[in-house]
Structure 1
């Protein structure tokens, strides 16, 4: 982050009026929770039943004394229906009696975490990869694009790669040893997830990297918890994340990340395109792959319209990008304007016949 952006973020932070706003990011793989003003979520928990999860979060994890005084920020996806939001609001207001709730778009918050309010946000998480333009804090939903090719599918492809079959015996041997500690499914998934996160890379040129023999022993060796060493082939290393950039290799006709970017830009005016590309934010757990930024940059620069200066395209890939949306929520929850944006319990109860309308008006 350059000096100008650091100053802009510092200016935002200087306006914070810290209150106990509880920030909850309902991810597909995990839930990130904590208090506004904090740099990282306090707890990351697996999703179970929504109502039970909220009770557990407030009562056990955060040890809130008076739930009725709680103000909640729910980090939301544009793919979630209004009815889904109403169900969450009903749980929080009717069952738990919280004071106020604000639903906020995850991409907007990811952008906000960088100190910007206008930009193009590419978020690749567990179950979805999304591309959405944001203007002055408001998502431009008519230009929104998404695909189900993301972290979960990448793990599935890693499991399916034929070169991985030869070490099933090693994995199963380890599972047998661990049966008294955890289920076989948990152990297997944990191993595959670890292989994915530590060994898989995004290729700069897929076919060239796939045939590259100059890979160090360290880069192609994965140690299982029991000490056995797995030899990671180039196919295992590069094919799983390649589906984000070339879905056709698995017979999928979804748009690639760069196709989504170009489609999104094409739905925006030319002048707005230039402004968006000054802040291209890469975030979500799947953006952590080595080579992710370089591949997007390489393809985008070769595809953008001629009226856009290549030197004006700026990518933002912060170290906290796995939790960008939560951190942006933490910052927003610390602003003195939070209560003016949120739905209050009184407002929700007084308009029982118009709950969906209220939610629709106050979802950003």
Structure 2
């Protein structure tokens, strides 16, 4: 018998936010998830640690999700999933295969009572108590921007690009390798090579991620322009990072400072994060643009980096007054919301708030309904629409 089963006669519903890199899991009505863990599990067939989103086909995904969901329930929250209600916080761009397979695992393998799928960009606004905002989700693989006006997502204005934590870590690794090779050559000329006992090109992704979180920051807009023009700037102090307990590697200050620049650099297609924000606003109706610009909402673990929000606002305001946008988007004010929770689990908190309302009973898909349909109803799939014909009075 699980620990929490005896506390209440009613089984509390659980909230699952399964991200590309980290998963948030907990109970409805609580202010924080019970656990935030990597979205990885030991593969039952190969025995290797794999990320959930690295599946090859439906059967592979099914086996990974069975092991992962079992770990969530029986290791991290210590409750049984049988006959329990589940709230799943998902992206509007979630693949249908992943959505259907996750539902199949929960309904058929774990026999949950019902599932309520809620869009992450929409329920995130529950934490603010507003109905209109431009939600900017900067996760691991990509940034997703979806405007929400009066509680309705404007899907035609969505923007998405692979400008997120994965791109930052790739930039950090490349810059680190180049700086390391230069230092190694300089040390070799001096006959001192003991400092570079570890080849940084072989560092695992988990170490690069830890270096990004612990040692990197977002520089100011002025320093970024100076670095891009190769002007002399005072470099931040290097960071000594210990690996394997007894080895130290030196992380140059310039690598710490420039890792996040990949998000703000404009290419030929102008796909920087600030461009995506203004492009999304331009795709919306002219009567909604002012309200959306005054309700920017950043979510996702990447935006927790030191200096990210201030740099983001400077970049958006500067681009807004540039000749490219000043005539097409004449806005004077741009404002950013401050959520009541950490940015990395704001969407989960919105799902916990939404699931604590009557909507859980009104909009959930029960196990009986799923077994009769053998699929998850999709609002964009006309096969699930039912035509009701009423007889006219004679």
Settle same-fold status: TM greater than 0.5.
Answer: yes
- The structure 2 residue matched to 1:62, chosen from 77, 80, 88, is 77
Who is 2:281 aligned against?
Answer: 265
2:157 and 2:180 map into 1 onto residues whose CA distance is 39
Assess, with a 3 A threshold, how the Cα gap between structure 1 residues 160 and 37 changes in structure 2: closer, same or farther: same
Q: 1:51-107 CA distances to partner (integer Å, 9 max, x unpaired)?
A: 211122122322214x22211111212222223211111111122111111122222
Does residue 230 of structure 1 match 2:250? Answer: yes
Give the TM-score normalised by structure 2.
Answer: 0.74
Assess, with a 3 A threshold, how the Cα gap between structure 1 residues 62 and 270 changes in structure 2: closer, same or farther: same
User: Shift in Å at residue 273 of structure 1?
Assistant: 1.0
> Are the counterparts in 1 of residues 159 and 276 from structure 2 also a CA contact under 8 Å?
yes
Assess, with a 3 A threshold, how the Cα gap between structure 1 residues 172 and 61 changes in structure 2: closer, same or farther: farther
Q: 1:10-36 CA distances to partner (integer Å, 9 max, x unpaired)?
A: xxxxxxxx9722111111112111111
Assess, with a 3 A threshold, how the Cα gap between structure 1 residues 159 and 231 changes in structure 2: closer, same or farther: closer
Does residue 37 of structure 1 match 2:53? Answer: no
User: Shift in Å at residue 290 of structure 1?
Assistant: 2.5
Does residue 244 of structure 1 match 2:244? Answer: no
1:342 and 1:222 map into 2 onto residues whose CA distance is 51
Does residue 347 of structure 1 match 2:339? Answer: no
- The structure 2 residue matched to 1:320, chosen from 342, 345, 356, is 342
> Are the counterparts in 1 of residues 236 and 257 from structure 2 also a CA contact under 8 Å?
no
User: Shift in Å at residue 221 of structure 1?
Assistant: 2.6
Does residue 194 of structure 1 match 2:216? Answer: no
> Are the counterparts in 2 of residues 111 and 117 from structure 1 also a CA contact under 8 Å?
yes
User: Shift in Å at residue 151 of structure 1?
Assistant: 0.4
> Are the counterparts in 2 of residues 86 and 356 from structure 1 also a CA contact under 8 Å?
no
Who is 1:122 aligned against?
Answer: 136
- The structure 1 residue matched to 2:226, chosen from 194, 208, 212, is 208
User: Shift in Å at residue 227 of structure 1?
Assistant: 7.2
Who is 1:103 aligned against?
Answer: 117
1:50 and 1:246 map into 2 onto residues whose CA distance is 37
Who is 1:152 aligned against?
Answer: 166
Aligned length in residues: 328
Structure 2: tracts of 5 or more residues without a match: 1-9, 42-63, 185-192, 321-325, 385-394
Who is 1:77 aligned against?
Answer: 91
Larger radius of gyration: 2
Assess, with a 3 A threshold, how the Cα gap between structure 1 residues 165 and 132 changes in structure 2: closer, same or farther: farther
User: Shift in Å at residue 116 of structure 1?
Assistant: 2.3
> Are the counterparts in 1 of residues 198 and 249 from structure 2 also a CA contact under 8 Å?
no
Does residue 27 of structure 1 match 2:19? Answer: yes
> Are the counterparts in 1 of residues 239 and 253 from structure 2 also a CA contact under 8 Å?
no
1:335 and 1:170 map into 2 onto residues whose CA distance is 61
Does residue 283 of structure 1 match 2:277? Answer: no
1:94 and 1:171 map into 2 onto residues whose CA distance is 55
1:258 and 1:171 map into 2 onto residues whose CA distance is 40
Q: 1:140-171 CA distances to partner (integer Å, 9 max, x unpaired)?
A: 22111111121012111111111144578889
Structure 1: tracts of 5 or more residues without a match: 1-17, 177-183
3-state DSSP of counterpart to 1:282? strand
RCO higher in structure (CA 8 A, sep ≥6):
1
Give the TM-score normalised by structure 1.
Answer: 0.79
- The structure 1 residue matched to 2:147, chosen from 129, 133, 143, is 133
Q: What RMSD in Å do the two structures reach over aligned CA positions?
A: 3.1
1:270 and 1:118 map into 2 onto residues whose CA distance is 14
